[in-house]
Amino acid sequence: LIALAHRILDGDMRGIARAISVIDNELPEKEALIDELFPYCGRAAVWGITGAPGSGKSSLVDLFIENKRRAGQRLAVIAVDPTSPFSGGAILGDRLRMQRHATDDSVFIRSMASRGHLGGLAGATADAIKILDAAGFDLIIVETIGVGQSEIEVVELADLIILILVPGMGDDIQALKAGIMEIGDLFIINKADKDGAAKLKTEIEYVLNMPSAITNLPKPPVLLTSATLQEGIDTAVQKIDECFQQLVHSGELRRRRNRHLQRELNRIVMQKVRALLDERYNLTQALGDWVEQIRSTDSRPYSLVNAKIDTFIKELNGLC
């Protein structure tokens, strides 16, 4: 285990890949590995990129990689596999699109499965980010599809969130109003080679300037790009970097990272408590029994669970 940690700290690509498999497969050495690396974390910038399926996230990431390589940076990309069973093609697309960087020793690209993580997808991704951070990458980009609670949770692990929109999707603005808008530090309208990009920009800026829009942070920039024509890319990267610097200087980055760590501790606690109950009471099966009990007796949900927890605490006290 210590040997694996050393390989990661040395930036050894195969060691890193191995460590991420440890996370992805929930192997027992996971916890010790992450704790070993934790003191070396916090140096990388983490960008979260989210947006509707097919909005051009991977195409943009591919060009961001190119830009950052020119500046001599080392980068890692985590593409979180969409939960949908129909998205096999998309994952392949990611791989193919970024494939040209695969032989570059300074670029690490990896998809993460979204199924089967005890601590949830966000927990697994948080651990993968730590591995890449400890491995000394300057920039870590997390790409997720901006639909569904678990994907939002994942992108919220990032220091900074970039929302990708495209013209010609009529209810974009509605979707934005419905909540995802608040989490964007930066908006990119991709496919600006298509009609309606300028109009969408105006609409987004209008919504962002509405008095109801929360935050004391600067208004998020709204940028236009075309990944296909490779237009607007350098400006976008520059604006993202500026945005990051603002977070650093205002102290917001530190606050965010503390908030993220707190959320992570909460996830770990919830998972451990649940595991403890499962171990002690075979909870999953017990839940079925409790349904029976409620149906066949006068038990009520809250009273029943409260009684069970009281018993549990008494047992624990008995053990101490």
Ligand X SMILES: Nc1nc2c(ncn2[C@@H]2O[C@H](COP(=O)(O)OP(=O)(O)OP(=O)(O)O)[C@@H](O)[C@H]2O)c(=O)[nH]1
> Does 55 help bind ligand X (rule: CB under 6 A)?
yes
Query: Pick from Mg ion, ligand X, none: which does 130 bind, CB < 5 to 8 A by kind?
Result: none
- Which of 4, 5, 57, 233 is in the footprint of ligand X by CB under 6 A? 57
CA atoms in the 13 A half-sphere facing the CB of 274: 11
Per CB under 5 A, which of residues 209..228 are in contact with Mg ion? none
Q: Is 35 helix (H, G, I), strand (E, B) or coil?
A: helix
How many Å apart are CA 101 and CA 13, to the nearest integer? 14
Minimum Å distance from CB 143 to ligand X? 7
With both helix axes pointing from N to C terminus, report the angle between 283-296 and 252-281 in degrees, rounded to the nearest 10.
70
Per CB under 5 A, which of residues 168..207 are in contact with Mg ion? none
Interface segment toward ligand X; rule CB under 6 A; list 14-22, 48-56, 69-77, 169-177: 48-56
**Residue 286 per-residue DSSP state:** H
- Which of 69, 194, 267, 274 is in the footprint of ligand X by CB under 6 A? 194
Query: Residues in contact with ligand X, total (CB under 6 A)?
Result: 19
CA atoms in the 13 A half-sphere facing the CB of 133: 22
Interface segment toward ligand X; rule CB under 6 A; list 87-95, 134-142, 198-206, 301-309: 87-95
Nearer to ligand X, 77 or 128 (CB): 77
Residues in the chain: 320
The CA–CA distances, whole Å, from 99 to 18, 46, 110, 170, 282 equal 20, 21, 11, 33, 45
**Residue numbers of the site for ligand X (CB under 6 A)?**
51, 53-59, 90, 93-94, 145, 190-191, 193-194, 226-228
